[in-house]
Amino acid sequence: MPPSPRDALPRYSETVEHVVTKGAKARTPGLWEVALGFGRLGLLGFGGVGPHARHVLVEERRWLDDMEYADVLGLGQPLPGANIGNVAAILGDRWAGPLGAVVAVAALNFPPLVIAVVLAAALTRLHGAPLFVAVETAVVAGAAGLVIGQGLRIAATFGPHAYRFAPAALTAALIAVWGFPLPLVLLSMLGLGFVVERRAHRGSDGPR
């Protein structure tokens, strides 16, 4: 077998410090296996499926090795849409064509949706009970904290690159304080982000 061209290229995933499970891979999954695998992933993930995706795809099913997973996640994350939803679409398409993509995305989302709708319908019966309102208000505040925590985790990866905090803080203020529409904020702040990144990397060894 000729060496794959992918192996010749430096990949950002090579910085990921995981034990590489190369050589232990299972064969390409079929449509039914894709449905079962992503269906299981959807039902596992409390508070988002992100943390569970590597476990199911790499360790449990062995459909990908760690580097391939990091590559797919690296594609799915910066694109718009649900992060793991994008990963499901890309992998479903790679393994079983466009139908595979539809099956993977549907299997990931549909079973949890049934649970969520049943839960939401059950909660409407509790409306008006003062204790329920108090608990629910607190749970939403907790959910707000989790989402802020997600943002803080990303900010923690800025490291010594203090210049990245400016577009982050400005983005938060434009949306939450001044209520600017999202498309406008995205265009201006991504533009600012690019300028800031390029300036910071000028003369150095390029973007990392």
Partner 1 sequence: MEALIALALRFGLLSLVAIGGANALIPQIHAETVTRLHWLDDRTFAELVAVAQSAPGPNVLLIPLIGWHVAGWPGALVALSAFLMPSSTLAIVVARVFARHPDSARLGALRGALRPVTAGLLIASGIVLVRTVAAASGPHAALVPEIAIAAGVAILSTRTTVNPLWWLLAAGAVGALIAR
Q: Which of residues 93-132 bind partner 1 (CB under 8 A)?
A: 93-94, 98, 101, 105, 108-109, 111-113, 115-117, 119-120, 123, 130-131
Distance CA 110, CA 102 (A): 11
End-to-end CA distance of the chain: 32
Site for partner 1 (CB under 8 A): which residue of 45, 54, 60, 62? 45
Instruction: Restricting to residues 165-184, name those near partner 1 by CB under 8 A.
Output: 165-176, 179, 181-183
User: By CB under 8 A, is residue 37 in contact with partner 1?
Assistant: no
Contacts of 96 (CB under 8 A, 6+ apart): 29, 30, 31, 34, 103
Site for partner 1 (CB under 8 A): which residue of 16, 48, 54, 62? 48
Site for partner 1 (CB under 8 A): which residue of 20, 21, 62, 85? 85
Instruction: Restricting to residues 146-165, name those near partner 1 by CB under 8 A.
Output: 146-158, 164-165
Task: Give the torsion sign (CA, 125, 129, 132, 138).
Answer: positive
Task: Name the strand (E) or helix (H) holding 72.
Answer: helix 66-76
Contacts of 54 (CB under 8 A, 6+ apart): 66, 69, 73
User: By CB under 8 A, is residue 28 in contact with partner 1?
Assistant: no
Backbone angles phi, psi at 118, to 5 degrees: -60, -45
Site for partner 1 (CB under 8 A): which residue of 21, 44, 54, 60? 44
Smallest gap, in angstroms, from Cβ of residue 22 to partner 1?
18
Smallest gap, in angstroms, from Cβ of residue 78 to partner 1?
5
Distance CA 198, CA 208 (A): 11
